Amino acid sequence: MAPRRLGPAERLYRARRIGTTFGRIYLGIKTNQFIARRLGPRDMDERWSRLHQTSAESIYDAAVELRGMILKGCQFLGARADLLPPQYVNVLSRLQDRVPPRSFPVARRTVERELGAPLEDVFAAFSRRPIASASLAQVHDARLHDGRRVAVKVQYPEIGALVRSDLSNLKALFRAVGWLEPDVDLMPLVDELSSHVPLELDFVNEARNAERMAELLAHRDDVVVPEIVWECTSRRVLCMEFIEGIKITDTDALRREGTDTDALLRLLVETWCEQILYHGFFHADPHPGNLLVQPEGPRLVLLDFGLAKNLPARFREQIVAFGAAIIGGDAEAIVDAFVDLGFETRDGRHESLVEVARFALAFAQRARAGGWEEARTFARWNEELGEQVRRNPIVRIPSHVVLIGRVMGLLSGVSKSLGSRIDLLPVVLPWVMGMKRSAPVHQPAPPPA
């Protein structure tokens, strides 16, 4: 049984559903712009806020209905505070847990097709009900004939066709927006989705990412990455060691087990500092479902490496230059650091970044005065930077910086759930300044198979 293809009627329905949803939002924006320009009512801010809220909810409803690429894309957009007003970010970030699973017969057919054998020949036991489901796949608890307990990630059979169809629809829609609004360029969003999502559909790529991360973090006894079972893994089925743990946001269970949440938060932040600022390769999707805790220690269990990112070789050097410019209070040096990091402006002139540089200085001064006692400080930076970017004619923030901002937002949410208020600056600063280890390893990505 080959992966399901979309029929013409389904493709047409999805195109119409996407088009009408975004068409209504576009008309609402143009209406508000007309009202603001011609009438200038005092409640214009409230009007925009209501429009953004209702628009975000309509996108949310479409994503839950259509699932597939639209759902995955909206999850990604939910972290784009640099492009979208906060109403969109708040609503779309709720999509992570709204994915109903497929039936057991569908999962069985996928596993048997991918592994080329009856399910019972490969697994001694295989749960009929998945233990987790996400936008692209669901996970089943299983046991191999040699007794090993494993987690089996099974891709939805129609997801490849949905991705191709939805990418085509989004490209057509965003080209039309660009034609109607020459100052609005949404194509970079489609380009990012086109590069990220197909990689997440390749479970062999995810397995390689997991093995690479396990190797890079092998010196740590407080971080665990499941071992891959290659003989039961393919492009659409991923089999890995089953590791027990408590979901990182299940604070009641963590407290019952006596987990030191301050130590856990330090471990969480330090683990990502090491990935980003030392190895130059990081897990870019640390939402709570991908993070488990083993209370003794505590130990952190990392899951789901479908979205992992290599950083430019000079990234830590660029971050150090940015930090030095902030400490020195030098706005021009901050602009230079932004440019070196890959920020681009619509007119190609650096002057457009001056306001963002001034914001960075003001934020740093506020943070120093108020203390860096919680991860929420770093999330506020991400949120307020996004607001500044939307107010200035910046065309593009490099994708790796966007993903790091997304990581900051996700880790901030985890920090809030843990209720910890520790000073994170002493945790982060040694990694930024390169003092934690002798020199960045920065290993290149392995060649494709």
Does residue 420 lie in a domain region? Answer: yes
Return the top range by mean pLDDT from 34-43, 147-156, 262-271.
Answer: 147-156
User: CA 158 → CA 7, 97, 133, distances in Å?
Assistant: 11, 20, 15
Higher confidence at residue 154 or residue 60?
154
- What is the structure's pLDDT at 287? 79
Does residue 271 lie in a domain region? Answer: yes
- For the segment 419-424, the average pLDDT, to the nearest whole number, is 71
- Kindly report the backbone phi and psi dihedral angles of residue 400, in degrees, each rounded to the nearest multiple of 5, phi listed first: -70, -30
Residues forming a β-bridge with 151: 141, 240
Higher confidence at residue 116 or residue 346?
116
**Cis? peptide before 298, omega within 30° of 0:** yes
**Residue 225: how many CB atoms within 10 A of its CB?**
25
Residues 345 and 395: beta-carbon distance below 8 Å: yes
- What is the structure's pLDDT at 344? 78
Specify the DSSP class assigned to residue 303: -
Higher confidence at residue 116 or residue 91?
116
Specify the DSSP class assigned to residue 226: P
Q: DSSP letters of 403-448?
A: HHHHHHHHHHHHHHHHT-----HHHHHHHHTT-SSSS---PPPPPP
- What is the structure's pLDDT at 1? 43
pLDDT mean across residues, the chain: 82
**pLDDT tens sequence across 98-135:** 567 889 999 999 999 999 999 999 999 999 999 988 87
- What is the structure's pLDDT at 414? 76
Structural domains in the chain (count): 1
| pLDDT range class, residue 445, cuts 50, 70, 90 | very low
Higher confidence at residue 111 or residue 70?
111
Q: Which domain holds residue 372?
A: 245-449
Q: Is the pLDDT at 139 greater than 90, yes or no? A: yes
- For the segment 174-178, the average pLDDT, to the nearest whole number, is 72
Q: Is the pLDDT at 436 greater than 70, yes or no? A: no
Closest to 404 measured CA to CA, from 79, 73, 75: 79
**181-195, 204-218, 287-301, range with the lowest pLDDT:** 181-195
Residues forming a β-bridge with 132: 139
Does residue 214 lie in a domain region? Answer: no
Q: Is the pLDDT at 444 greater than 90, yes or no? A: no
Q: Is the pLDDT at 308 greater than 80, yes or no? A: yes
Q: DSSP letters of 305-373?
A: -SSEEEPPTTHHHHHHHHHHHHHHT-HHHHHHHHHHHT-EETTS-GGGGHHHHHHHHHHHHHHHHH---
Residues belonging to the active site: 285
59 Cβ contact list (under 8 Å, min separation 6): 21, 22, 25, 74, 88, 91, 92
How far apart (Å, rounded) are the C-alpha atoms in residues 401 and 431? 17
Does residue 221 lie in a domain region? Answer: no
Higher confidence at residue 171 or residue 110?
110
Higher confidence at residue 314 or residue 391?
314
Residues forming a β-bridge with 439: none
The percentage of the chain sitting over the pLDDT mark of 90, rounded to a whole number, equals: 32
Does residue 172 lie in a domain region? Answer: no
Does residue 301 lie in a domain region? Answer: yes
Does residue 415 lie in a domain region? Answer: yes
**pLDDT tens sequence across 189-208:** 677 777 777 888 899 999 99
Does residue 300 lie in a domain region? Answer: yes
**159-168, 359-368, 382-391, range with the lowest pLDDT:** 382-391
- What is the structure's pLDDT at 440? 41
Residues 165 and 14: beta-carbon distance below 8 Å: yes
Residues 60 and 91: beta-carbon distance below 8 Å: yes
